[in-house]
Amino acid sequence: MKIYKINYLLILGVLLFSYNATSAQQEQDIEDRITKIITKMTLEQKIGQLSLRGTSSRTKVLPEELKQDVRDGKVGAFLNVMKVDYVDELQKIAIEESPLGVPLIFSRDIIHGFKTIFPIPIGIAASWDKETAKTSARISAIEGSSYGIRWTFAPMLDIARDSRWGRIAESPGEDPYLASVLAKGYVEGFQTDNLTNPTSMAACAKHFIGYGAAIGGRDYNTAIIHEPLLRNVYLKPFEAALSSGVQTIMTSFNEVNGVPASGNKWLLTDVLRDEMNFDGFVVSDWNSVTEMINHGYAKDEKQAADLAVNAGLDMEMTSKSYEFYVKELIKEGKVKEDQIDFLVRNILRVKFKLGLFEKPYRSKTHTGDLYSEEHLTKAKTAAIKSTVLLKNESVLPLKMSAKIALIGPLANAPREQLGTWTFDGEKEHSVTPLKTFKDKRVSFKFSKGLSYSRDKSTGGFEAAIEAAKVSDVIVFIAGEEAILSGEAHSRANINLPGKQEELIKILAKTGKPIILVIMAGRPITITNIIDDVDAVLMAWHPGTMAGPAIYDILFGKKEPLGRLPVTWPKTAGQLPLFYNHKNTGRPSDAESFVQIDDIPVGAWQSSLGNTTHYLDAGFTPHFPFGYGLGYTTFKLEHLRLSKTEITESEELEVFVSLTNTGESAGEEVVQLYLQDKVGSLTRPVRQLRRFKRVRLNSGETRIVKFIINRKDLEFVNNSLKPVIEKGEFNVYVGQNSVSGLVKGFVLK
């Protein structure tokens, strides 16, 4: 037995060694080939590789000038070339007519689906499921690569703590651990384990960094993030993407602590290259190099190019400061040619890894299986996994025989249900709730009530009320149009726009139960109407298959499986709001809190509880991070730790018993949070460290086990060192970020 074991280990060792040797050899071959190319390149051709040019999807004729630039080797990559013939033509010119035949790389924002649209990323985040992120990325890549696109500008990994920010729709939510899990799923899905596979795409982790920390949630706004916070929170998902081999990184539009990301040498060179060992390439965001002039960081385009090159930014998106000024900067000695060689090398390396030198052309037999049955089914499953049940006064699931009034501006809005960043998904393929109800022969009356989410006309109210009166239950599909979230689409108020609240209140007077389904790009404040409705389902913008997913959930064919990836506010005035906040010196508490209406007139200033809260909005969110109901109930009991004291090198095992106490089978997301009670830098009240989806039959019990290790206890301190500090910790295991069982341990 022992001998077998030794032999086995030996063989494994030899295999591993030869595998490492081959991949090291392959990497060296690539570097050698790059060196050969760079040696032959003129300075203009090198600068050409650093240029990402855009065409518009609507381009009717490829401009001659553009073709000539490719011929002259002045372009390294394209974005948004959406006619496959143009992709083919441009690549042919690059390969056959440009001086060194360096292939182009074609890119596009394929964020949550190409043709088959998956839920928006905040929806995917609500699935709390790496596989869902991976599947959405995989199918996006399969479909998109059939158009010759081998590089996508996803995943967006910006931690978002403010739901006013329009781009929260594209974000992985507020938590660095959850975002890191998703980051890995996305990168694996886009890139696979074989980048040369013609259905693989280079992923792009964006936006580096702090874009989601825009003050006030106003897009592009200044971010102020002290370095330990940057490292403990904002950088985490990027580290995860890098560990999964992400090939490209996009800088963010914003400045962090006074320095715009695209000209930030500390960020792009010291942190990204030197500390994190990134060996792919960094692309700017759209014009973000020359926008450093608006930031007041560069006086003109030439200085912008100087700053960006010296920061280590490899490829410039759309603006042309490199093309216009790098030559001059070299002449003036501000930039060295070998710096440019380094940037070119980073870009060529990714082109080699994608196999573009061997196979530059789009495979004509690769159809992408656009909208195939398989893709649509997966998009539907993802939508079910993303939908979060926020309230249910025993109205859901519905009986098949229920007579339904289907009302609301999003009930039949094929474009809107797709959400932001869906340049290629066609609304003609969207299956809306209305269409599904018809296809499934649900007994229902449809009356939209309002034509679109911002509609302020009451013209449709009468008919909606009539439909409600003759029905057993109202399904009101509310929300925001796709255009109300996404880039530059921040809102100061995040309630249901238009007259949706008013219509819901009027419908409530009919006495019929209301199921509110929300399709939106962000959490929507619903405090005004929560008491008027009997159930609330948050579907985000669910994508092509919104209708079938919502139908299955409403009628109990499937359970809503989502959990909130962001804290849900009662009012926009509470924002930014996030669960992993600090305790403060005067933590809020229910006992001393006096609500604004209960303050006696003429009350003495210090007669109210002096804790951190709002007099009017209190101190709790409407729904906490991690929250979500299902169609059954669960109970957690008997939290047990393997030890009460550990050393740094020891692992801690955590056990908890989970029982399905309801009538039907169902799934729970068991969440483990840690609290480091005392730190040299104050620590968050809780931090998510593990979670597990567990499926149990009614009455079934299972012991769920987690393992915590030293990495989970680590944080970057004020001296910017990763440290683990001895002392007391709490382990919370619960169904969301504020409830649960707790047990303490000591790190010796």
**Residues designated as active site:** 285
Residue 129 or 285 with smaller CB distance to ligand NOJ: 285
SS3 call for 571: coil
Rounded to the nearest whole angstrom, what is the least distance from the CB of residue 578 to ligand NOJ in the complex?
Answer: 22
Amino acid letter at 404? I
Residue 148 or 498: the one with the smaller Cβ distance to ligand NOJ is 148
Residue closest to ligand NOJ, measured at CB: 153
Q: Shortest approach of ligand NOJ to residue 83 CB, angstroms?
A: 18
Size of the site for ligand NOJ (CB under 6 A): 6
Structure tokens at 142: 């399969």
Both structure tokens of 298: 């560069």
In the region spanning residues 214 to 243, those forming contacts with ligand NOJ, defined by CB under 6 A, are: none
Q: Is 487 in the site for ligand NOJ (CB under 6 A)?
A: yes
206 binds ligand NOJ (CB under 6 A): yes
Asked if residue 153 binds ligand NOJ (CB under 6 A), the reply is yes
- Beta carbons of 524 and 533 less than 8 angstroms apart: no
- Minimum separation from the CB atom of position 402 to ligand NOJ (A): 43
Task: Measure the CA–CA gap between 179 and 499, rounded to whole angstroms.
Answer: 35
The rounded distance, in Å, linking the Cα atoms of 93 and 408 is: 52
* Minimum CB distance to ligand NOJ smaller for 289 or for 572: 289
Q: Applying CB under 6 A, does 625 fall inside the site for ligand NOJ? A: no
Distance CA 746, CA 748 (A): 6
Alpha-carbon distance of 94 to 600, in angstroms, equals 77
Q: DSSP assignment, residue 528?
A: T
Residue 109 interacting with ligand NOJ (CB under 6 A): yes
Q: Is residue 147 close enough to count as binding ligand NOJ by CB under 6 A?
A: no
Backbone angles phi, psi at 642, to 5 degrees: -65, -25
Instruction: Compare residues 77 and 514 and give the one whose CB is closer to ligand NOJ.
Output: 77
The nearer residue to ligand NOJ, 285 or 455, going by C-beta atoms, is 285
CB of 206 to ligand NOJ, least distance (A): 6
Residues 279-308 within binding reach of ligand NOJ (CB under 6 A): 285-286
Please, which residues have CB within 8 angstroms of residue 375's CB and are 6 or more apart in sequence? Answer: 116, 139, 142, 143, 369
Closest CB 287 distance from ligand NOJ, rounded Å: 9
Q: Give the C-alpha separation, 9 to 479, whole Å.
A: 58
Write out the binding residues for ligand NOJ, residues 14-33 only, by CB under 6 A: none
Q: Which of residues 434-473 bind ligand NOJ (CB under 6 A)?
A: none
CA distance 643 to 707: 12
Nearest CA to 698 out of 659, 642, 739 is that of 659
**Residue 139, number of CB atoms within 10 A of its CB:** 28
Q: How many CB atoms lie within 10 A of CB 446?
A: 20
489 lies in the site for ligand NOJ, by CB under 6 A:
no
Distances (CA, A) of 218 to 284, 569, 576, 585: 20, 17, 12, 29
Toward ligand NOJ, which CB reaches closer, 143 or 285?
285
Q: Smallest distance, Å, CB 285 to ligand NOJ?
A: 5
Q: Structure tokens of 541?
A: 């913008």
Q: How far apart, in whole angstroms, are the C-alpha atoms of residue 453 and residue 499?
A: 8
Rounded least distance, CB 113 to ligand NOJ, Å:
15
In the structure encoding, which two tokens stand for residue 489, read together? 């689409």
Q: Kindly tell me which of 487 and 714 has the beta carbon lying closer to ligand NOJ.
A: 487
What is the spatial distance between Cα 448 and Cα 438, in angstroms, rounded to a whole number?
Answer: 15
Which positions lie near ligand NOJ, rule CB under 6 A? 109, 153, 206, 285-286, 487
